[in-house]
Amino acid sequence: MAVTVETLEKLERRITLRLSADTIKNEVESRLKRLAKTVKADGFRPGKVPMSVVSQRYGYSVQYEVMNDKVGEAFSQAANEAKLRVAGAPRISEKDGAPEGEMAFDATFEVYPEVKLGDLASAEVERTASEVTEAAIDKTLDILRKQRRTFAQRPAVEAAADEDRVTIDFEGKIDGVPFDGGKAEGFQFILGEGRMLEAFEKAVRGMKAGESKTFPLQFPEDYQGKDVAGKEADFLVTLKKVEVQHLPEVNEAFAKSLGIQDATVEGLRADIKKNLEREVKFRVAARNKAAVMDALVKTAELDVPRALVAGEVERMIENARADLKKRGVKDADKAPIPAELFAEQAERRVRLGLVVAELVRANQLQAKPEQITSHIDEMAQSYEKPEEVKRWYFGDRQRLAEVEAVVIENNVADFVLGKAKVVDKTVPFDELMV
């Protein structure tokens, strides 16, 4: 039987579904009979509950279940016959005026759009490049040295200076009243590393062990502590101890302590360069993919199914609640998060997903098994035990699917960069790593 599909607006369609009332009735009776074999009721042995009691207790829910199942089956069959690609779940409403012995329903839904990719040759894409310099290696070496630094107490007559570790007691008050988070004892930080507000560090810099000082401090308007943001506090600080830091020398012993196979200074620098080049490669690829995706969104023409956007908004809200829960927020799963916060981002994600899917389909850009293996191999090299990392990925389908998605994105980026007008830009290492 031919299915009549009514076009309502853009991607919205409607199909009228017809079901036999006898079919519904028979299925309800059949399910109630099966249920009667196991249902329990006071005063009756299991399996001996009268059908009238079973029907009275469970008839409505079984009827509802059967209607959902049968309408769903009818819709699926009709959509397949009409060769429709349905986007999202249909909205079902019962229709009046059905012939005797039948029930009629209207199924309103959206279909996937036709995606017009546009002329990629006319798209302009900025392609980023960067390189690992000797200065970048030196900076990484400094970080490694600081991670393994030691401290020795300064003589009491020497003042605290940048790079010293200081131990202090402090108490802050606003209008003479203490505030939450404004007091601590035995608090340690390293001068010059920016952990504390500059005005606070400036006050402590130059103090000697045993000295106390009172000073005003203006909290910035955008300070993370909303209760004190933009306000002025008076702090009393007592410097308990000053320690000077000692950094390990860059030598063979230092290289060996880091587990470098070629435990020489040259081997250490080569190992750092290799790791940095791997990180640069991934960051450059991420930037270039983002530029490609922006170009695809701009050149493609399509209508976006509202149902898919709504579904994406729901997923983003659930992810936001999950993140709040991880942070220890009470009742995070019930947090009122407005859908409007994610509407624009969700619409772009859906649009981009449809465009990328069409580009992959039209140009056979699917991930090949050897590409997935190669990508996992490369990622695993940045870990201490690469083989364990590989087994971790290959042992879970979901993790493999995530890698496959990344490989497909790489294929899309390479394809578009091979077609588009490419503007090359070299980004300094430090800027790339921010």
Question: Is 333 part of a structural domain of the chain?
Answer: no
Report how far residue 101's alpha carbon sits from residue 146's, in angstroms, rounded to the nearest whole number: 82
CATH of the domain at 225: 3.10.50.40
Tell whether 198 and 240 lie within a shared domain: yes
Report how far residue 110's alpha carbon sits from residue 8's, in angstroms, rounded to the nearest whole number: 10
Residues 62, 54: contact at Cβ < 8 Å? no
Tell whether 99 and 49 lie within a shared domain: yes
In order along the chain (434 residues), what is the average pLDDT of each group of 10 residues? 81 92 89 86 80 86 90 92 92 85 90 92 93 95 94 92 96 94 95 94 95 95 90 96 95 91 91 92 93 92 94 92 86 85 93 94 94 92 88 93 93 94 94 90
Question: Is 258 part of a structural domain of the chain?
Answer: no
Tell whether 270 and 225 lie within a shared domain: no
Tell whether 368 and 291 lie within a shared domain: yes
Q: Which of 287, 205, 202, 208 is nearest to 240 (CA)?
A: 208
CATH of the domain at 72: 3.30.70.1050
Question: Is 131 part of a structural domain of the chain?
Answer: no
313-320: Cβ within 8 A, 24+ apart: 313/339, 313/342, 313/343, 313/346, 316/342, 316/345, 316/346, 317/342
Report how far residue 248's alpha carbon sits from residue 245's, in angstroms, rounded to the nearest whole number: 10
Tell whether 366 and 297 lie within a shared domain: yes
Whole-number pLDDT of residue 131: 94
CATH of the domain at 294: 1.10.3120
Q: What share of the chain is helix, strand, coil (3-state, %, to 5)?
A: 50, 25, 30
Report how far residue 290's alpha carbon sits from residue 281's, in angstroms, rounded to the nearest whole number: 14
* Tokens, residue 162: 């940048």
Question: Is 356 part of a structural domain of the chain?
Answer: yes
pTM, to two decimals: 0.74
Q: How many domains does one find in the chain?
A: 3
Tell whether 176 and 205 lie within a shared domain: yes
Q: Which residues partner with 125 through β-bridges?
A: 422
Max Cα distance, the chain (Å): 103
Tell whether 292 and 186 lie within a shared domain: no
Q: Which of 84, 111, 138 is the last residue of a domain?
A: 111
Tell whether 72 and 203 lie within a shared domain: no
Residues 417, 294: contact at Cβ < 8 Å? no
Residues 423, 127: contact at Cβ < 8 Å? yes
Tell whether 392 and 419 lie within a shared domain: yes
Tell whether 241 and 349 lie within a shared domain: no
Q: Which of 350, 434, 397 is nearest to 113 (CA)?
A: 350
DSSP classification of residue 82: T
Report how far residue 184's alpha carbon sits from residue 176's, in angstroms, rounded to the nearest whole number: 17
Tell whether 154 and 206 lie within a shared domain: yes
Whole-number pLDDT of residue 204: 96
Report how far residue 380's alpha carbon sits from residue 398's, in angstroms, rounded to the nearest whole number: 17
Residues contacting residue 407 through CB under 8 Å, at least 6 positions apart = 367, 371, 372, 375
- Crossing angle of helices 265-299 and 134-147, in 10° steps, is 110
Report how far residue 100's alpha carbon sits from residue 112's, in angstroms, rounded to the nearest whole number: 35
Question: Is 227 part of a structural domain of the chain?
Answer: yes
Tell whether 285 and 417 lie within a shared domain: yes
Residue 72's domain comprises: 5-111
Q: Which residues partner with 229 through β-bridges?
A: none
